[in-house]
Structure 1
Amino acid sequence: MHSRLTPLAGALRTFVFGLSIATASQGAFAASGSEHAYSIAPGSLDAVLGSFGQQSGVMIAVDSSLTTGMRSSGLSGNFAVDEGLQRLLAPLGLQAVTDGHGYRVVARPAQGNGELQLQATQVTSNQLGTITEGSGSYTPGTIATATRMVLTPRQTPQSITVITRQHMDDFGLNSIDEVMRHTPGITVSTFDSERTNYYARGFSVENFQYDGIPTLRNSAYSSRAPRAS
């Protein structure tokens, strides 16, 4: 004999049925803290996690985009659910988090809040090449005034002459005029007691760099060249 449930009785039956499901789910999830015996062979991570879920009785949600192509060495022994999942996922940069109904596999966050600590770095800039002061050398290691690239004289595709600090000290060169007179291919022309002009292969030299700063010098309006420092 079948009896028809009243609306109130139907609502109570639905409530009790839902309560029983929730209670069973919470009981199974609470049991995840106890140890279980596992015997899972190595294989793809998806297959290993599937076997782990079956043997532990817990639900594990996996995003296939995280686990595609990953392999696991399996698991053997007695472990709690959390410990077992950690052993399976930690070597692969993953972890399992609880969501109230089971576990969800996510990427492990970077250590130190994602900050990467670097050692101190020393940056040294030298736009003119090797500094020869105090080296006692007549030749530089590298120069950059001809091509704007730091190259050795042999690598530079131009004819270059470098008068170093040691050269100036040994020959007593105390002004730019005296340095230019010691430079091969340069002719120094004196107009009067205060004005000089420099020529290279018959052409007047008017573009200079003092300490790397470009300078235009016109002999008609320039006084004697400054002293060499």
Structure 2
Amino acid sequence: MISFFTKTTDMMTSKKRWTALVVLAVSLFVVTMDMTILIMALPELVRELEPSGTQQLWIVDIYSLVLAGFIIPLSAFADKWGRKKALLTGFALFGLVSLAIFFAESAEFVIAIRFLLGIAGALIMPTTLSMIRVIFENPKERATALAVWSIVSSIGAVFGPIIGGALLEQFSWHSAFLINVPFVIIAVVAGLFLLPESKLSKEKSHS
């Protein structure tokens, strides 16, 4: 059997390709930022919810653990189901779960939110990379786009504590979650119009 990518859209213009890359890069930035954004917010969260030492570790670490654990299976799922659908679903889940922080009254609830954010992130992160390979067919353009993806994947975690600290100067620890929402809204709206649908298709080869 031969596997190949199928796209359901026509060739994208150069402007649309690079604009789509901005959407993918911003999405990736938010996912990687969430790995470290709680570092600055944790002391205030601890004062309010009084989690145990073990719970504090889970609040910080469970997002990255789930993200790493589910990336491969959810990437395969997105390839088969449709990358655009998977990406938009990941965006929606990321935003809705972030909003749920309004109802957080216990450490267990925050851990559950971080777990679900990890699932959403594992659906978004690898799919942004797959989308780049679909959108950019020219080798030079693809190399540039992949370089941008690599840089953004690195700086998101670096800027997490900086952004978290800036938010805490004006807002409560909840803002470390709510900051995701405007980014997600922009990504969903832009993604609907800019991103092509694609998936992995399999057909039998005939000799």
> Which bracket does the TM-score occupy, shorter chain normalised?
under 0.3
- Structure 1 or 2: larger strand share? 1
Provide TM-score, normalisation by structure 1: 0.18
Give the structure with higher Rg (CA). 1
Greater helix share, structure number = 2
Q: TM-score w.r.t. structure 2 length?
A: 0.19
